[in-house]
Structure 1
């Protein structure tokens, strides 16, 4: 067992899908975790975190909301590392442009405030931001064609409209893109005393400690259970050319790996497979032939875009889960939660 007694890590958005698993792993590794939640009065979210191994001794809970970014100051104090996952909750708007503007302002304002809190703390060495592949589209700026590969040089152009856009998706895309650019600007403008890293995660699946199906995992099985989430999967495919996917354990290990490196900064894409939605459907048909996939949910676009990101592997991070393991694990979770019957 690794010995990290006394080393403090702040995790914002700690009750979410990725956040809860990161807290779990940090506690298992004996870190002291300062975990933030929007509402300490939520018994389910608080109860989950308090039930984790070593939580009684090493977990500290703080209430904080990204719409009030100064809330995070107390949680960050005394920490050596900060892992920032908190994302603005989409609110009800009559006008999508208002939603996009408010969520983007909250996300960018949150990044600025958290970076300033890290600097003022005098203790934080590195800030790791959980970014998204929606900010890393390989589409050309005019939106007419894709580049040959997807890697860390890709940025999503925010002046074009993508197919399958539904309420909230563009607001999320704008907020993740603008907040990540704000974060990485810090690396260029500051003196290097605080290192900042962004991890652009693919669609996460494979397992969960939550009692409900995470949205990203639901996307992976959407051709089986949910047409609405299939539209979200297709939106991501239109943004990224194909669908980058990654197992929850690999995502969390990548965060901790980047945190524990002696020195690191910059942008890293995090996905172990890059599939067309038609390839996901082919997986279900090949390995789970009893599952019926409607023909209208299988769209072979014939794109020849390759996954060009190697930066995580270049610093010796190793993925443990391939596409089959991610998809089959997601299916088992869906079955366990009663979304459809087992095919065994």
Structure 2
């Protein structure tokens, strides 16, 4: 069947209408909402899953898509909740995840985190994969992972020259050190591990996208967490500054990717026959001082926070997307684009005050 092609209003992108349907979990989140938009712009049919359909009211006119978009209410914590949403889908993008960074002080904090954060996250992902297993049309699942699962330090605590997909953050080290955002780190590590184990045991084609700090414009009604982390040197928010410092301490630099590029990478990996395993998605990495200088240039602010850098004694580790690039993926946006689009969007929505020339 020939594709019907028409020009999109934005840019020179071409919309190719197809019968291919993809499911996107976590459709009201930062990546999820933009991924739904990206898929619809490319002409696909989309099944968007949400826990609360009221949160889609402001997104529906931004998404467009007409009858190519269906919204399903689904809860990761309920087995079978995704059965209807994945029916007829060629692939599933599992973007939904808890953004739990802090937990209340507890005497037995490890048990609390296992029971209230990690087990629900794992069970939720397995519930989705079980729905995919029941659906013959699903040929691949793309799982949204995080750079929090990676480390630039080897077992001896020495900086690696290159960080690739093999450089996972040891689970026992995270439990032991409990450094910044450790709850989120454990949740992503253990959920991804469980997902690959289940997929391997049940012959599900699973590919993982390791997202770095995602920034740029957003469709969500609130400023995404990753954007607030990136802008914490400007805002001075101590909670998000601690997260940025923790990432820098673990990686030696801050790796960034534009929201359009991370969504394009998800779609690219869904469709590429040769895709397998895990893929780091990083357009550019900057040492903290360079990042703060770029933020200050884009949005001068008198109380700019200067975060302390760790002494490398050598060139900081390269956070490498070589595996993704070697497959044929190209990034569209660089560091200056990412920061400019992020700051502009946050000024437009009132999160940042306009600068005075």
- 1:1-344 aligned at under 5 Å gives the runs 1-40=14-53, 42=54, 45-88=55-98, 90=100, 93-95=104-106, 96-97=109-110, 98-141=112-155, 144-160=157-173, 165-166=179-180, 169-186=181-198, 188-191=200-203, 194-225=204-235, 226-285=237-296, 287-288=297-298, 290-294=300-304, 297-303=306-312, 304-343=316-355, 344=357
SS across alignment from 1:121 = coil
Distance 1:279 1:101 in 2: 40
Report the alpha carbon displacement of residue 291 of structure 1 after superposing the two structures with TM. Answer: 2.2
In structure 2, relative to structure 1, the CA distance for the partners of 1:61 and 1:180 (3 Å cut) is same
Point out where structure 2 has 5 or more consecutive residues left out of the alignment.
1-13
Q: Deviations over 1:63-86 (max 9, x none)?
A: 112222431121111111100011
TM-score (norm 2): 0.86
Distance 1:152 1:4 in 2: 35
SS across alignment from 2:331 = coil
Report the alpha carbon displacement of residue 179 of structure 1 after superposing the two structures with TM. Answer: 1.4
TM-score (norm 1): 0.89
8 Å Cα contact 1:149-1:307 kept in structure 2: yes
Q: How many residues align?
A: 334
Point out where structure 1 has 5 or more consecutive residues left out of the alignment.
none
Report the alpha carbon displacement of residue 139 of structure 1 after superposing the two structures with TM. Answer: 2.3
In structure 2, relative to structure 1, the CA distance for the partners of 1:236 and 1:253 (3 Å cut) is same
8 Å Cα contact 1:163-1:238 kept in structure 2: no
Report the alpha carbon displacement of residue 134 of structure 1 after superposing the two structures with TM. Answer: 0.3
Please report the RMSD computed on the Cα atoms of aligned residues, expressed in angstroms: 2.3
